[in-house]
Structure 1
Amino acid sequence: MNNHLLRAALDAAERGWHVFPLRPGSKRPALHGEERCPRTGECASGHRKWEERATTDPARIHRAWCGRPFNVGIATGPSGLLVIDLDMPKNNSSSDTPSGVTTFKALCERAGQRVPTTRTVRTASGGMHLYFTAPPGVRLTNTAGTLAPLVDTRAGGGYVVAPGSITPGGSYVVVDDRPVAPLPGWLCEALQGPRRTPQPGPVPLATSASRYAAAALRNETQAVATAADGTRNHTLLRAARALGRLIATGDLTRAEVEEALSRAAAGNATQPERYYDDVIRRGLDWSIAHNSPRRPA
């Protein structure tokens, strides 16, 4: 058994994944906690947690697994992994409660995406671990049910039990040994949550605008800044036409309206700045031409 688990730890380390021992037959770390830290060896300069002590060094792995049949933990953060954990319903759940595999498939269907294929491990409970490489420069952490019910993730600050490990409930077994795929972009965005739209700051008014004109400028720029995808151009054009009437009446200057709308569009942009500036220009030109008072003949 020691050789089997040692081989599992070395196999993970050869892939560049940082491993540490779990208690025999368990999913819990076997390393000492801070309250029992001897402040010697690796902890001589201060207590180091399991994530910091996880390693790919074969010599350290041999020393750790030579005496006891430790299960193998993979620290997902240092390993550059994000693992999606598709769990099984608990024993006290309703008999028709869908599994994590089922809810994840439904999530992919709603997003119009295929279920991603990658290295897959069957867990001791009958669930699945889907291994992905984490995107560079993006800080992802553990989640529980964020994507869908019974769909958790392990990334920075988390770990998974490596295949080859054995618990009273069963073994962790590789069921798809293909290379680890990059995390799909749509899943990365879902895990990061909705992006907060920058709100435009107040634009100083060069004119002695009335309260009505100032409120109109504030409301229209707010509408542009918070416009949903697919409505942004229409909202910007409508705002330019609405504010163009106030330029025609002298309540606002063209410069302050152009600045306010340009800043609002930039905070919610999917197109180059010149694209939005052209929309603003066309909207203002149309509105000013149609609302300027006619000069007497």
Structure 2
Amino acid sequence: MNAHLTAALTAAVRGWHVFPLRPGTKRPALHGEAACPRTGPCECGHRKWEQRATTDPERIRATWSRAPYNVGIATGPSGLVVVDLDLPKNTSKDKGSSDAPSGAASFGALCERAGHAVPDTYRTRTASGGTHLYFTAPPGIRLGNSAGTVAPLVDTRAHGGYVVGAGSTTPAGAYEALCGSVAAPLPGWLLSVLTPAQGPAQRPSVAVAVQSRSYADMALANESRNVASAVTGQREATLFRAARALGRFVAWGDLPRSVVEDALQEAGEAAGLSASECHSTLRSALNWSVAHNQRRRGAA
């Protein structure tokens, strides 16, 4: 049995849906819509790589017996969210360094700020020297792909995306499994970062606006109280979550940013955080929340 077939079958045993990539590349080996013969799997209409990805061992053996295809893993059908931790463009595993932080360094800092260690989960080393972290997607939530939403050089692949699986090879190097045999559940704090904003909003009526400001004031009081009473080990994570939650009210115009910053700064210091710790956490969390909550949720 060839190594690429073994890699495809190994992924399928884990429940991950695979499809062939052109030998030595990261590009799908399946035909595009323009060249679709409308026969076989496409008899009832063109089926893209995500639809044709499979865990069926017989289909996998039949496909990989034709050529040493690399292994594509369709993350959506596989129920996966894969975090891609990349290297700065002028950096690789064999070349010079860069002053810019790597995706792994940025992700590690985010985990620390959220009050957690970097999750222990199945991971692979990419051909460029980066890392793929595999997580199981939460049930009932459809996440798409992201590029730089979590942090610079930190991308994610879910529905509509795929990753190159371990055992694949390219001229730049091989994709290798590093550790962990099981994909861990997607951390809650990361889910909150990746959850997309709702659809476009209409201008709220005066009554709705007044109600929103009242709710925003109540949320500010509750979050400030939660931060001030946070225990050691949870203080920075609680402040981070509070700023993320309140940032949407800043984006919607229900609360001035200065009011939110002052209230949470005071609460964080009351909990025992230093002024600089509070300021750094608030700035990054509010910046993200404001940028990703430009549209009010729940508007008709």
TM-score over 0.5 for the pair: yes
| 2-structure distance, mates of 1:233, 1:152 | 30
Question: Are residue 97 (structure 1) and residue 87 (structure 2) matched?
Answer: no
RMSD over aligned Cα, in angstroms? 2.6
Give 1 or 2 for the bigger CA radius of gyration. 1
Cα deviation, residue 178, structure 1: 3.4
Cα deviation, residue 111, structure 1: 2.1
Cα distance 1:164–1:219, how it changes in 2: closer, same or farther (>3 A)? closer
| 1-structure distance, mates of 2:209, 2:59 | 63
Question: Are residue 9 (structure 1) and residue 12 (structure 2) matched?
Answer: no
- 1:118-176 per-residue CA deviation (whole Å, 9 max, x = no partner) reads 01111111100000000000010000000000000000000000100000111111111
Partner of 2:221: 231
Matching of residues 252-271 of structure 1 within 5 Å: none
Is the 8 Å Cα contact of residues 198 and 225 (structure 1) preserved in structure 2? no
Which of 121, 135, 140 in structure 1 is aligned with 2:124?
121
Cα distance 1:199–1:133, how it changes in 2: closer, same or farther (>3 A)? farther
Partner of 1:131: 134
Is the 8 Å Cα contact of residues 120 and 180 (structure 2) preserved in structure 1? no
| 2-structure distance, mates of 1:47, 1:58 | 23
Structure 1 counterpart of 2:140, one-letter code: G
| 2-structure distance, mates of 1:222, 1:18 | 44
Cα distance 1:86–1:63, how it changes in 2: closer, same or farther (>3 A)? same
Structure 2 counterpart of 1:44, one-letter code: E
TM-score (norm 2): 0.67
Partner of 2:284: none
Cα deviation, residue 220, structure 1: 4.9
- 1:8-56 per-residue CA deviation (whole Å, 9 max, x = no partner) reads 0001111111000000000010000000001100001110000000011
Is the 8 Å Cα contact of residues 200 and 222 (structure 1) preserved in structure 2? no
| 2-structure distance, mates of 1:223, 1:113 | 33
Cα distance 1:223–1:11, how it changes in 2: closer, same or farther (>3 A)? same
Question: Are residue 221 (structure 1) and residue 214 (structure 2) matched?
Answer: no
- 1:207-235 per-residue CA deviation (whole Å, 9 max, x = no partner) reads xxxxxxxxxxx77534213337442599x
Question: Are residue 142 (structure 1) and residue 132 (structure 2) matched?
Answer: no
Structure 1 gaps, min length 5:
204-217, 235-297
| 2-structure distance, mates of 1:102, 1:232 | 33
Cα deviation, residue 198, structure 1: 11
Matching of residues 31-110 of structure 1 within 5 Å: 31-91=30-90, 95-110=98-113
Partner of 1:183: 186
Number of matched residues?
219
Cα deviation, residue 177, structure 1: 2.5
Cα distance 1:188–1:228, how it changes in 2: closer, same or farther (>3 A)? farther
Cα distance 1:191–1:198, how it changes in 2: closer, same or farther (>3 A)? farther
Cα deviation, residue 201, structure 1: 5.7
Is the 8 Å Cα contact of residues 224 and 232 (structure 1) preserved in structure 2? no
Which deviates further from its counterpart, 85-94 or 133-142? 85-94
Structure 2 counterpart of 1:141, one-letter code: G
